Structure formats: C-alpha cells, structure tokens
Amino acid sequence: METMAGRRILALGTHPDDVELTCGASIARWVRDGDTAILVVATDGSRGGKDVDSDPRETARIRRNEQMEAAEIIGFEDVVFLGLRDGEVEDIPELRALLVEQIRRFRPEVAIAMDPLTVIHRNSYVNHRDHRILGMAFLDALYPEASNAAYFPEQLARGLEVHKCPELLLSATESPNYWVDVSETLETRFTALRCHASQIQLWLENGEVLIEEQRERAASVGAAQGMGYAEEFRRVIADQLS
Ligand SMILES: [Zn+2]
C-alpha cells in the first residue's frame, strides 16, 4: 500500500473530530506521499456542547469551523458535511443514498470508517451509537449499493456512475490486521485534534491527558509491529461477491 501513491481516499467521520481521534496520522502520511483524500463528516456535532445551556446551532457552527481547520492540517483536499443531527443517525435508505452519492462522486480507491462491529472498544469505551449505525450503513453503501445500478438509479440519471471501492480500512477496531507507521505524522494528528477546542476543553487538562494516552498507545501498537508509532486498522480487500 505504501508503494502506491496517487490513490483517492475517502474518509468518513461520524462527528467533527472522529478522524483526528482515530486514523488522521495515517491519512496525513498518505497525503504527504502523494494520495488525495477527502473527508465526509456525517453529523453536525450539535450535541458536543454537552451542557443544557449550549445552543445546538451555535455548537454545530463552531464545530464545522474546527473541523475545517483540522482537515487542512491533516491535508484533506475537501470536506463534505452531510449535516445529520448529532445523536440521531438512523440506518435508512435516505442515509445510504447520501453515502452512495459521495462514493459515486469521489470514486475512492480506499474508504476509511470506524469499525461498526466495535460495540465495546478495548474494554473501556462503549462505542457511540452514531458510530455503529453510520458504520453499518457505510458498509452497505460500499458493498453492494454504490456499485449496483439498481440502487439509487436517480443518481445515475444525474450523471454519476457506479463505483466499487476495492479497499476498506476500519479504524477503532477490535480485529486489526493492518498497521501503518505514523512516526512522522502522529504529532500532525494531535495538532489537528487540538483544533477541536470546543471538545478538548471538556476533557482532562484540555485534552493533553488523552493525547498522551494516545501517544503511548501508538507507541505500543508500533513496537509490536517493529515500527515507531503506528495506527491500526482492519483491512478489507473487496472480492467479486462484495
Ligand atoms: Zn464521534
């Protein structure tokens, strides 16, 4: 994978900040190596204010700006906001149509999302409902819907064409089988993560405790693979039945 520059990568983030919390260092590395990446952010993050007094529309506006800033640091060429309401993602045909449309529009060679099979992550994190539901919808949007003209034919009438993405990488997975050396770009991810000021201010020591934990985790994942810092994925290469 590292030898094939010039790929098109579509990363799906459920909320503004998910890519910066999970797999952004790999994407930063691949963009540096010559790939082109876009970020699709599904929800507006409007519940990220947490307390009862915060205005959801204002929270969404702030988080959109934070995501734009963070995406530029990672090196995304474009950011698409689907604008779903935070906390209310449902796996319905209308959602899959939105996802299929992005797949058919950008035509990625690599798609990245959080692993929807993760319900409890590393016995410490109950995976957010939006992550699980969006991830499952994305799997269906990729295989088979985007590549089958019988799904959402109105998109084809508008000029889009079917597309089968050959490779899928799932982050925040309990079943990793693929590791990426991010020794040169892990700090880029943390710089991008710090753009999410409205979120990190809610975390211990303005997010620095979490960043240190993630740095240690990347070091131990990397050490087990003979790398420096690493991010891990479940990698799926689509076969002809997908
Ligand atoms: Zn999230």
Predicted model pTM: 0.96
Interval between CA 155 and ligand 1 midpoint (Å) = 28
- Boundaries of domain holding 145: 8-237
**Which amino acid, one-letter code, is at 29?**
R
Question: How many Cα atoms are found within 13 Å in the side-chain-facing hemisphere of 64?
Answer: 17
Token couple for 4: 């094939």
Residue 67, φ and ψ in degrees, nearest 5: -65, -40
Question: In CATH, what number is assigned to the domain containing residue 154?
Answer: 3.40.50.10320
Residue 166 falls within a domain, yes or no? Answer: yes
Residue 1 falls within a domain, yes or no? Answer: no
Across 202-226, average pLDDT: 96
Q: Please tell me the predicted confidence (pLDDT) of residue 74.
A: 98
Give the pLDDT confidence of 58-81 residue by residue, as tens digits: 999 999 999 999 999 999 999 999
Residue 186 near residue 25, CB atoms below 8 Å: yes
Interval between CA 129 and ligand 1 midpoint (Å) = 9
Residue 2 falls within a domain, yes or no? Answer: no
Q: Please tell me the predicted confidence (pLDDT) of residue 52.
A: 78
Q: Please tell me the predicted confidence (pLDDT) of residue 143.
A: 97
Q: Please tell me the predicted confidence (pLDDT) of residue 34.
A: 97
Residue 157 falls within a domain, yes or no? Answer: yes
Give the pLDDT confidence of 75-101 residue by residue, as tens digits: 999 999 999 999 999 999 999 999 999
Residue 56 falls within a domain, yes or no? Answer: yes
Residue 2 has pLDDT above 90, yes or no: no
Note the helical H segments in the chain.
Answer: 18-22, 24-32, 56-74, 93-106, 129-142, 153-157, 186-193, 197-200, 208-224
Residue 49 has pLDDT above 90, yes or no: no
118/64 Cα distance (integer angstroms): 26
Across 21-46, average pLDDT: 98
Interval between CA 41 and ligand 1 midpoint (Å) = 10
How does residue 50 score in pLDDT terms, banded at 50, 70 and 90? confident
Interval between CA 86 and ligand 1 midpoint (Å) = 9
68/65 Cα distance (integer angstroms): 5
Question: How many Cα atoms are found within 13 Å in the side-chain-facing hemisphere of 74?
Answer: 35
Interval between CA 178 and ligand 1 midpoint (Å) = 22
Across 115-132, average pLDDT: 95
Residue 39 falls within a domain, yes or no? Answer: yes
Q: Please tell me the predicted confidence (pLDDT) of residue 97.
A: 98
**Which amino acid, one-letter code, is at 136?**
M
Q: Please tell me the predicted confidence (pLDDT) of residue 1.
A: 47
108/82 Cα distance (integer angstroms): 18
Residue 242 falls within a domain, yes or no? Answer: no
Token couple for 195: 């753009």
Token couple for 65: 């700006």
Interval between CA 45 and ligand 1 midpoint (Å) = 8
Across 22-48, average pLDDT: 97
Residue 3 falls within a domain, yes or no? Answer: no
Q: Please tell me the predicted confidence (pLDDT) of residue 3.
A: 52
Give the number of domains in the chain: 1
Q: Kindly give the interhelix angle for 24-32 and 56-74, rounded to the nearest 10 degrees.
A: 40
Report the mean per-residue pLDDT for the chain: 96
Beta bridge partners of 66: none
Across 166-195, average pLDDT: 98
Burial class (CB in 10 A: 0-12, 13-18, 19+), 153: exposed
